[in-house]
């Protein structure tokens, strides 16, 4: 079997029909579909079962709610495909796109492609505009990380992975955390010997909505991002591979966490979880044009935050933020 498509599902009834139907039309490739219902309380499981008679090699796993990473890991262990593709249940495939990718596989550990994003108004946009690699060239993972780690997609649904490569290197998702995808993707690139790119070819339609991780307003998403970022930094320190591009990734993720704490009004909580270790890491990873880089990174969030309260003085806010987060 060439491909295992793995979909973790939790209360995705609203989008699940479109997701599964987009896979059903992949009739020219030999694939299995593994759906893991992670304790859904809506009608997701009922909808899944309605597809059982219409899809060959369709496996439904049910489990109590243990999180997306646990669901993916369990499916990966039982998958029979030579290659693995992870898809989120609120996203879908672009017509015949995945089939095209499969025809391009030679013997790579990872095949990378693009996606388009859409919001509730169905506005489409190419998701990774800076994914600048050539077609028909095999890269090794360390070279990609050193050249352009800050530009690769840190989500698993922009890749097809060789299953034996993942299992051999014990590459699984860290369980119990949001933003675990970033750690997983970077680690896969570190170990990969053969990577190919189809940089401007979108395969997935990524849906941005109120319940997606991107828009999730729980403080845990910010807290977990800090934890995952520390792990990314420590992994590459331990591997003696803290290159400038890796530093840029770490810096950008810290800036993203700061921006989220501002726009979601979690600054007090954020201050309680940021440690001396984090400031030491930021200090090591800061850009050469810091603090200008910090200002630019926070600028967009400052404007959003100001719109919520017109009494806020932007100049004063920037001054306070720089004072608060200045790395000495």
Choose between 215 and 6: higher pLDDT: 6
Which has the minimum average pLDDT: 65-69, 122-126, 195-199? 122-126
pLDDT above 60: residue 318: no
pLDDT above 80: residue 291: no
pLDDT above 70: residue 229: yes
Q: What pLDDT sits at residue 210?
A: 61
Distances in Å between the alpha carbon of 124 and those of 71, 149, 202, 207, 289?
29, 25, 11, 9, 33
Choose between 68 and 264: higher pLDDT: 68
For residues 115-133, average pLDDT: 73
Choose between 81 and 308: higher pLDDT: 81
Q: How far apart are CA 283 and CA 241, in angstroms?
A: 17
Q: What pLDDT sits at residue 214?
A: 55
Q: What pLDDT sits at residue 328?
A: 45
Q: What pLDDT sits at residue 80?
A: 97
Q: Which of 78-87, 259-268, 290-299 has the highest mean pLDDT?
A: 78-87
DSSP strand pairing (83-86 vs 3-9): parallel
pLDDT digits (tens, 9 = 90+) for 58-110: 999 999 999 999 999 999 999 999 999 999 999 999 999 999 999 999 999 99
pLDDT above 80: residue 224: yes
pLDDT digits (tens, 9 = 90+) for 245-254: 999 999 999 9
Which has the minimum average pLDDT: 54-68, 132-146, 173-187, 242-256? 132-146
Q: What pLDDT sits at residue 258?
A: 85
Q: What pLDDT sits at residue 295?
A: 67
Q: What pLDDT sits at residue 315?
A: 53
Per the CB < 8 A criterion, the answer to whether 177 and 227 are in contact is yes
Q: For 121-272, where are the E strands, in sequence order?
A: 125-126, 159-162, 195-207
322 Cβ partners below 8 Å, 6+ apart?
291, 294, 295
For residues 262-278, average pLDDT: 86
pLDDT above 50: residue 293: yes
Q: What pLDDT sits at residue 107?
A: 95
The whole-model pTM stands at 0.90
Which has the minimum average pLDDT: 51-55, 224-228, 242-246, 247-251? 51-55
Buried b (16+ CB within 10 A) or exposed e, 205-221: bbbbeeeeeeeeeebeb
């Amino acid at each position: 079997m060439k491909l295992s498509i793995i979909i973790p599902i939790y209360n995705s009834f609203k989008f699940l029909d479109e997701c599964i139907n987009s896979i059903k039309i992949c009739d020219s490739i030999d694939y299995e579909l593994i759906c893991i219902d992670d304790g859904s309380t809506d009608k997701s499981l009922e909808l899944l079962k309605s597809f059982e008679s219409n899809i060959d090699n369709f496996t439904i796993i049910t489990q109590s709610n243990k999180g997306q990473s646990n669901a993916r890991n369990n499916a990966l262990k039982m998958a029979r495909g030579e290659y693995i593709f992870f898809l989120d249940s609120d996203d879908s495939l672009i017509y015949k796109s995945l089939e095209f990718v499969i025809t391009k596989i030679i013997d790579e550990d990872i095949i990378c492609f693009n996606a388009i994003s859409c919001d509730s108004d169905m506005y489409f946009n190419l998701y990774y505009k800076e994914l600048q690699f050539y077609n028909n060239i095999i890269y090794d993972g360390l070279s990609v990380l050193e050249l352009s780690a800050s530009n690769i997609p840190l989500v698993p649904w922009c890749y097809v992975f060789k299953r034996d490569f993942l299992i051999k290197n014990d590459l699984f998702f860290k369980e119990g955390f949001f933003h675990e995808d970033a750690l997983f993707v970077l680690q896969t690139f570190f170990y990969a010997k053969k990577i190919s790119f189809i940089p401007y070819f979108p395969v997935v339609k990524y849906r941005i909505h109120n319940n997606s991780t991107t828009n999730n307003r729980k403080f845990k998403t910010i807290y977990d991002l800090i934890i995952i970022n520390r792990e990314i930094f420590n992994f590459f320190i331990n591997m003696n591979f803290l290159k400038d591009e890796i530093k840029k990734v770490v810096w950008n993720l810290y800036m993203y966490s700061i921006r989220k704490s501002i726009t979601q009004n979690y600054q007090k909580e954020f201050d309680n979880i940021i440690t001396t270790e984090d400031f030491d890491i930021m200090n090591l990873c800061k850009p050469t044009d810091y603090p200008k880089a910090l200002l630019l990174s926070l600028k967009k969030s400052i404007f959003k935050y100001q719109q919520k309260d017109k009494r806020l003085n932007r100049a004063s806010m920037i001054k306070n933020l720089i004072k608060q987060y200045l790395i000495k």
